[in-house]
């Protein structure tokens, strides 16, 4: 299994590993910071599963690279929003303000959508959120400037730009909490971006015992409790969310 080297992924994985060992399974893990190779590594069979991405990122990655990887189950949801060190509202952002956005397509559009909802820009409304990019901005009266950064770096650039779009957990790690966001996603807006565990197509059907063991360990009360303690319960377990329905909707 290949997993992103970040607490909300790594720590639950270590808990799941211990639970699996108690049941006679061995979970071999590799921790990485890359957000590209883990999907190729599962596609080519080097690893059975990965845990690093949200549902929409997976959909976009499949489209971009002609893959057919599938989500096995949801893990957690996290609110994401626009944050600023200096300004108290989107309306306060000055002319030519610099806004940092994640460079990856699936998350880039989330920030653009929020800025449009706040009235700072107008966008092509025929585009879904995952499809949006700066090229789809139709009106930008303040001539906002967009700086694209790695999704894991938004916390580190927080002090260097006028505002950032970022995951709540990454901002919380630099002591910026969701209540400080200028605007934040609703639960419905955030669901397509819930984090998932991913495998090759047919894994659930072809390896039912592995699938059930993984799901049982990752959806255990021990893991749920860990999320409840992490950053004051900032991340919400999405164990009961219907992954099949969400995946079907994403692919329509």
Domains belonging to the chain, first-starting first, are 2-77+190-250 (3.40.190.10), 80-184 (3.40.190.10)
Is the pLDDT at 4 greater than 90? The verdict is: yes
38-58 in b/e form (b: 16+ CB < 10 A) is bbbbbbeeebbbbbbbbbbbb
Report pLDDT for 156: 86
The answer to whether residue 28 scores a pLDDT higher than 90 is: yes
Q: How many helices (H) and strands (E) does the chain have?
A: 10, 13
Q: Average pLDDT of 68-86? A: 94
Query: Mean pLDDT across the stretch 223-235?
Result: 92
Q: What pLDDT score does 252 carry?
A: 78
Check residue 104 and give its pLDDT.
84
- For residue 138, what are the contacts with CB-CB under 8 A and spacing of at least 6? 122, 123, 124
At residue 168, the pLDDT reads: 85
User: What's the rounded mean pLDDT across residues 190-203?
Assistant: 92
Q: What pLDDT score does 82 carry?
A: 96
pLDDT (mean) for 11-34: 97
């Amino acid at each position: 299994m290949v997993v992103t080297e970040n607490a909300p992924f790594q720590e639950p994985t270590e808990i799941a590993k211990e639970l699996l060992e108690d049941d006679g399974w061995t979970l071999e893990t590799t921790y990485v910071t890359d957000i590209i190779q883990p999907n190729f590594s599962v596609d080519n069979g080097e690893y059975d599963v990965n845990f690093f991405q949200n549902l929409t990122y997976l959909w976009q990655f499949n489209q971009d690279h002609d893959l057919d990887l599938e989500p096995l189950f949801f893990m957690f949801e996290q609110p994401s929003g626009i944050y600023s060190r200096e300004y108290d509202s989107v309306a306060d952002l000055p002319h030519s303000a610099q806004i940092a956005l994640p460079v990856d397509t699936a998350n880039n559009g989330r920030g653009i959508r929020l800025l449009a909802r706040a009235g700072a820009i107008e966008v092509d409304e025929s585009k879904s959120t995952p499809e949006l990019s700066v090229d789809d901005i139709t009106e930008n009266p303040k001539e906002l400037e967009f700086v694209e950064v790695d999704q894991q770096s938004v916390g580190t650039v927080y002090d260097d730009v006028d505002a950032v779009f970022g995951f709540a957990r990454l901002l919380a790690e630099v002591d910026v909490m969701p209540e400080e966001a200028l605007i934040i996603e609703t639960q419905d807006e955030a669901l397509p971006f819930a984090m998932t565990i991913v495998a090759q197509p047919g894994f659930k059907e072809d390896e039912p015992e592995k699938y059930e063991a993984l799901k049982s360990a990752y959806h255990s009360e021990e893991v749920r409790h860990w999320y409840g303690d992490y950053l004051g319960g900032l991340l919400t377990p999405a164990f009961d969310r219907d992954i099949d329905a969400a995946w079907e909707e994403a692919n329509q």
